[in-house]
Amino acid sequence: MQPIIEAIDLHHVYPNGTHALKGVNLKVNSGEFVAVIGQNGSGKTTFVKHLNGLLRATRGLVRVNGMDVAQQKVSDMARLVGYCFQNPDHQIFCDSIYKEVAYGPKNLGLTSSEIDERVEEALNAVGLIHLKNEHPRDLSKGQRQRVAVAAVLSMRPTILNIDEPTTGQDYRDGLEMLELIAQLNRAGHTILFITHDMRMVARFAQRVIVFRDGEVLLDGTTREVFREVETLRSTFLTPPQITTLAHAFPDLYSQTILSVSEMLDQTVALLNHRPVN
């Protein structure tokens, strides 16, 4: 199968001389749910901004859906690659939520009935349809973040990049946001989300890509990556507590544990096999 995203020896040097990406090679298949993690300044955001051409490769190549992104305009890539920025206030400018979400589809030149349909669909997906006539500034930050996601969703991009969707939100709002993203993933969107929240990674991601100093340090299933405790520590990342706890008892839990319920299952299994005395 052809990967939907492919980066080949991707380098990026910012005008101020910062070498932000130093030869990234990656493939992402259609339908994957990928968490992109790493310290601030490790190159996560720089990498993701190459997928819709917001940043251009200094050296190397990015292909999305087989197309060389360097040959495409950002506004044309928008149909294929959605990018949701960290701070919703960087994009919200309309006086109603409906208009805000309709802005992208309008730019794509759709008819008003198509726009209507897509806005309804997107607002339903984020659970804000009942607020469609409200002013975005009257909403909470968490809700505005949802508006921002809906504003990208309404363009029906195949790939959805979301930059720190849970930062600055309480646990419940963050969880709801990730559940929404997971739902979009089940509906067929390829998801890349940048995050610092390891609990969310453990709970939702199928695959984890770890950046360090502009290079891919680790890349694998969530379980594979969280097993590499030492390597993760080198870039100041720690798996969730439950995973760390299980790692502390390698004789009891041979497999990497990702959640409390996994831990419970394994513990119950262990207890059932305990010799009776």
Partner 1 sequence: MLEYIPRSSLLHRLHPLTKLAWAVSVMILSLIFNDPWFLALLILGVVIIGFIGKVGKETLVYLSALIVVAAFVFVFQILFRPGGDVIFTVFPVSWPVVGGWLPVTVEGLRYGFAMSLRMIALVSTLPILLSTTQPRDIVMALVDTLHVPYDYAFMFTTALRFMPVILSEVNTISQAQRSRAYAVEGWNPIRKLQAFGPIALPIVFIAIEKADRLGLSMELRGYGSKKRTYLRMLKLGFIDWFILGLLVFILILSTWAMAKGIGRISLTGT
What are the residues binding partner 1 (CB under 8 A)?
A: 49, 52, 54, 73-76, 78-79, 81-83, 85, 87, 89-93, 103-104, 107-108, 137, 151-152, 155
SS3 string, 142-185, reads HHHHHHHHHHHHCCCCCEEEEECCCCCCCHHHHHHHHHHHHHHH
- Token reading at 202: 């453990």
Distances (CA, A) of 265 to 13, 201, 252, 260: 48, 20, 12, 9
Q: Which is nearer to partner 1, 82 or 240 (CB)?
A: 82
Q: CB 104 → partner 1: shortest distance, Å?
A: 4
Q: Which is nearer to partner 1, 109 or 250 (CB)?
A: 109
Q: Which is nearer to partner 1, 8 or 54 (CB)?
A: 54
Q: CB 135 → partner 1: shortest distance, Å?
A: 12
Q: CB 251 → partner 1: shortest distance, Å?
A: 49
Q: CB 8 → partner 1: shortest distance, Å?
A: 23
Residue 86 CB neighbours (<10 A)? 16
Q: Which is nearer to partner 1, 73 or 130 (CB)?
A: 73
Distances (CA, A) of 39 to 197, 211, 228, 232: 11, 8, 16, 11
Q: CB 152 → partner 1: shortest distance, Å?
A: 7
Q: CB 240 → partner 1: shortest distance, Å?
A: 31
Q: CB 37 → partner 1: shortest distance, Å?
A: 21
- Return the half-sphere exposure (C-beta side, CA atoms, 13 A cut-off) of residue 250: 2
Q: Which is nearer to partner 1, 16 or 277 (CB)?
A: 16
Q: Where are the strands (E) in the chain, listed by range?
A: 5-13, 19-28, 33-38, 59-64, 67-68, 81-84, 159-163, 190-194, 207-212, 215-221
Q: Which is nearer to partner 1, 54 or 175 (CB)?
A: 54
Query: How many angstroms separate the CA atoms of 128 and 72, rounded?
Result: 33
Query: How many angstroms separate the CA atoms of 161 and 116, rounded?
Result: 24
Choose among 142, 144, 135: nearest CA to 91.
Answer: 144
- Token reading at 124: 């339903």
Q: Which is nearer to partner 1, 90 or 130 (CB)?
A: 90
